[in-house]
Chains A and B, each alone.
Chain A
Amino acid sequence: MTTQDLGAAGATGRPVGGVATAIAVSKSFGATRALIDVDISVAPGEAHALVGRNGAGKSTLVSLLTGLARPDGGQILFDGHDAPPLSDRAAWQSRVACVYQKSTIIPTLSVAENLFLNRQSDGLRRISWRALRARAADLLAEYEIDVDPSAAASTLAVDQRQVLEIARALSFGAKFIILDEPTAQLDGAKIAGLFDRLRRLQDSGVAFLFISHHLAEVYEVCQTVTVYRDARHILTAPVAGLDKDALIEAMTGEDRSERAEFAVAEYTPKAEAKPALEIRDLSLAGVYEDFSVTVGEGEIVGLAGAGGSGVVALGETVAGLHRPSGGSVTVAGRKVRTGSVPDALRAGLGFVPEDRHAQGVVPMRPIAENITLTAMDRLARHGFFTGDSLRRAGSALMERLDVKAEGPDQPVGALSGGNQQKVVMGRALANSPKALVLIRPTAGVDVKSKESLLGTVRQAADDGCGALLVSDEVDDLRIAHRVVVMFKGAVVAEFPSGWSDAELIAAVEGLSGTGTDDPLIAEREQQNIANERPGHE
């Protein structure tokens, strides 16, 4: 088989002579049809975006294109040649490298070994740990990842792990690289650094399949976009000729005019309202200092900051994951014992963690059980809970959060990435919390579900819950009544609703606090810009 005879036409009449091509592939998991006769063809040197709602089948296609699963029907070709047999992993690896949506870092092994997993040495040769560490140090330096190559991978933060995965995938020297939501856990500076690198690789002839729910990224790095919806191929078109609304319409199959708009009204506390969440002089040594904020009943406070600003650690401290070096947390008038998750939960705090793989879900258990995990006590009658009440409560939450699944009994591990995130969100809401701490709650969630997810946060707030929303995504922060910005552990700015994207982003990046006419700040801004690329934080 040659590229030429296949170049003629695929099942859909489109040319298929690409570095990687799928022709009419299908895949089912039991009753779930994840892909139905879909095509995709990635041309040499092209950055090809694949978009679609949560559960559309994107990650399933990735597992077929990387040889982790066999399609039920259809054909996969690389450079016009049939894909190697699944058992020949080495052959697959020479054709395609991949950053998977699920973490493929092995926490118990060192950073160096993770980077060179299964290629620590050639064939049967003895591993030289010294050489391996040196190779890893080189790679880490190249990607400006500031970690010790022999540290255990379990000690890394979520974003460091993500960069590690990217560095590893790119280091194979493959001509075709798949990135499944590589940016969901990264901040602006790291994303910019990644895109620089992708462009350089593209110049040297590498082709990409890029999956993301951030459509702006699609426009920034990709030339072609393919849309899947409900397991089917909807369209493939050059990015240049497609506006954002048309793209979203293709993804959702709905007219864009009916979308929800979030107009944030001024927050006016009710007269008798007491604060839902009160944080006083909270400090975590070396991470952030003396942070105070009061979140009223029904108020949503955004907390924005880049990686290294301490916002994530702050949110986690409030939820009890870290013991602060000083300060206090009060939930609905009840002082919480800091550093204790159970106590925070008992006080009525709902929490969406950053790392859903490690802290979020119990993958083998059914959705209903996961989503109601925090509410077991309430659902239980005389200490017992019936499967029925569990399933009913689970179904209700699933509906509210737009979880796409077979039913409440499906194990969470079988859900698509974005739908798992919704389950984590549901768990935080299940207990009718008095206060919510949400860390990047919409990571990996599609455009439409994002709206409904943020809608539920608004709903919870309208019902009297106070929310602290930790995020660096302007779309998330738009639902907040005010946004507090942190930079390197200190509060640098606060914006009432009505801020512009530019001023918020500038504050997040540490470029300006209150106004830029201040000569000192302007100078710092200059320096920051000079330092910013590549990748200084």
Chain B
Amino acid sequence: MSDAASAPPADPAARSRRISTRWLREFSLLPAMALLILIGFIESPNFLTSDNFLAMLQQSTELSVLVLAEALILISGRMDLSLESTVTLAPVIALWLVLPTSGNRFNGLGFGVEWLAIPICLLVGAAIGAVNGFLILKMNLNGFVVTLGMLTMLHGLVIVIDGGQTIFTLPPSFAYIGNAEWGGLPASVWVCGVLFAVGIAALGWYRHGRSLYAIGGNPGAARAAGIRVERTVWIVLIIGSMLAAFAGMLYTGRLGSASASQGTGKIFEVFAATVIGGVSMNGGRGSLFGALTGVLTLKLIENVLTFGHVSAQDIEFFNGVVILVALIVSRYTSGAAQD
């Protein structure tokens, strides 16, 4: 075979057109974000301030981590609804195990030292992902129904463990990552940025990351090409649940408490952000960067609504409306059907 240099030069016009369409897809939400920022700017002088944006970024971190998890899973052609419950269950189990047996409103089992709560939290996440993987891949159950079942069951389990109360006593080590600041930025924003950078690099430039697209696009073909489909999907489900557990840690740390009600309803936002960001529900299509812009767009919408003095009781309704509108708009700006 001849070497690369002798390859026929691709038609330059076609090439630039192609690159521009790819960029268009990646950045299709930027105009919408710019528009939202403009609206916010008109609404209130307090909108375009670093304080507001920092707060908004920090509030986006948990959702971003969840969206990262869901995007990985959707790209591999699966879905996981139970992430929502993992967000609360993993921290609650971790706290329950390590908190002392007496002296607080919520008494734990006093198992081991306090910093163990962090690895336990992540391990609980991994275990939930592993169970999902077992039910979906080994027992061949439907992923939607399995994770819907897990969503309900795990939510119930949180209430069984904490008796419906809110846990306010947090070991400082456990709360650290959710409320610390590094160099003027919340630590959670840094960590979140690093996680996305790693994810984007893996899915863009590494063989194992690319295999997620192949699996989501056509699992039979991926298997024929030598990709270990089941194992890879299982790993993705485990990583996804661990990310959800980590999001739970961020959430708990930021709010200074953990309770069963914390994650409720989040999964809708997670899916909305992921799909607005251009990730296909049918697998094999989308990018993590796009998903991240989806999160930021949603958070901007929320922020703009708050500044627009939409009352707290109406905000849920408007939020829903705007998300649906955003879905419709992104369907056209990205030029691809959301399937």
A residues with a Cβ closer than 8 A to B are 66, 68, 87, 89-90, 92-93, 98, 100, 102-109, 113, 117-121, 123-124, 126-127, 129, 131, 133-135, 137-139, 141-142, 148-151
Contact = CB atoms under 8 A, between A and B. Distances in A.
Contacts of A68: 223-224
A68 to B, nearest CB: 6
Nearest to A171: B1
Contacts of B217: 106-109
Contacts of B10: 133, 137, 148-150
Nearest to A129: B205
Interface stretch (B28-36, B208-216, B295-303, B315-323): B208-216
A116 B11 CA distance: 22
B206 A127 contact: yes
Q: What are the 6 closest A-B residue pairs judged by CB atoms, nearest first?
A: A134-B4, A104-B221, A89-B226, A106-B217, A137-B7, A117-B225
Contacts of B280: 108
B178 interface: no
Given A90-B226, A118-B214, A138-B1, A108 B221 contact: no
15 contacts: A66-B224, A89-B226, A106-B218, A106-B221, A107-B218, A108-B284, A108-B285, A109-B284, A117-B214, A123-B207, A131-B4, A134-B4, A134-B7, A150-B18, A151-B18
B160 interface: no
A131 to B, nearest CB: 6
B284 A98 contact: no
Contacts of B223: 68, 89
Contacts of A121: 206-207
Given A100-B224, A118-B214, A127 B7 contact: no
Given A93-B226, A151-B18, A138 B2 contact: yes
Contacts of B211: 118
A126 B206 contact: yes
Interface in B40-81: none
Contacts of A120: 207, 210
A129 B216 CA distance: 21
Contacts of B11: 148
B8 interface: yes
Contacts of B200: none
Interface string B216-247: 11101111111110000000000000000000
B16 to A, nearest CB: 12
Nearest to B209: A127
A155 B15 CA distance: 15
B14 interface: yes
Nearest to A123: B207
A87 B206 CA distance: 21
A104 B207 contact: no
A118 B207 contact: yes
Interface string B261-298: 00000000000000000001000110000000000000
Interface residues of B, number: 34
A103 B208 CA distance: 22
A113 B210 CA distance: 9
Interface of B: 1-2, 4, 6-8, 10-11, 14-15, 18, 205-208, 210-211, 213-214, 216-218, 220-228, 280, 284-285
Nearest to B221: A104
A126 B224 contact: no
B-side interface mostly? helix
A104 B229 CA distance: 14
B26 to A, nearest CB: 15
Contacts of B208: 124
Given A121-B207, A127-B206, A106 B226 contact: no
Nearest to B215: A106
A23 to B, nearest CB: 24
Q: Which secondary structure dominates where chain A touches chain B?
A: loop
A143 to B, nearest CB: 11
Contacts of A127: 205-207, 210
Q: Which of B2, B207, B214, B227 has most A Cβ within 10 Å?
A: B207
Contacts of B7: 134, 137-138, 141
Contacts of B221: 103-106, 117
Nearest to B285: A108
B220 A102 contact: yes
Given A137-B10, A141-B7, 16 more contacts: A68-B224, A89-B228, A92-B226, A98-B224, A107-B217, A107-B218, A107-B284, A108-B213, A108-B217, A117-B214, A117-B225, A118-B226, A118-B227, A124-B206, A127-B207, A134-B7
B296 to A, nearest CB: 25
Contact of B220 (A93, A104, A134): A104
A119 B206 CA distance: 10
A126 B205 contact: yes
Given A108-B213, A141-B8, A148-B14, A87 B228 contact: yes
A264 B222 CA distance: 47
B282 to A, nearest CB: 9
A106 B284 contact: yes
A309 to B, nearest CB: 24
A65 to B, nearest CB: 12
Query: Which of B4, B218, B228, B284 has the most A CB atoms < 10 Å from its CB?
Result: B218
Which of A98, A127, A149 has the most C-beta atoms of chain B within 10 angstroms of its own C-beta? A127
Contacts of A103: 218, 221
Contacts of B8: 137, 141
B4 A104 contact: no
A98 B285 CA distance: 26
Of A131, A137, A139, A142, most buried by chain B (CB within 10 Å of CB) is A137
Contacts of A108: 213, 216-217, 280, 284-285
A137 B285 CA distance: 24
A134 B9 CA distance: 9
Contacts of B227: 89, 117-118
A533 to B, nearest CB: 20
Given A104-B225, A118-B225, A142 B1 contact: yes
Contacts of A102: 220
A182 to B, nearest CB: 15
A149 B6 CA distance: 15
Contacts of A138: 1-2, 4, 6-7
A106 B213 contact: yes
A370 to B, nearest CB: 19
A135 B4 contact: yes
Contacts of B6: 138
Of B18, B220, B226, most buried by chain A (CB within 10 Å of CB) is: B226
Nearest to A137: B7
Contacts of A89: 223, 226-228
A87 to B, nearest CB: 7
Contacts of A92: 226
Contacts of A137: 7-8, 10
A100 B284 CA distance: 21
A215 B39 CA distance: 70
A119 B217 CA distance: 17
A93 B285 CA distance: 27
Contacts of B226: 89-90, 92-93, 118
Nearest to B6: A138
Contacts of B228: 87, 89
Given A100-B224, A148-B11, A151-B18, A109 B214 contact: yes
Contacts of A90: 226
A391 to B, nearest CB: 25
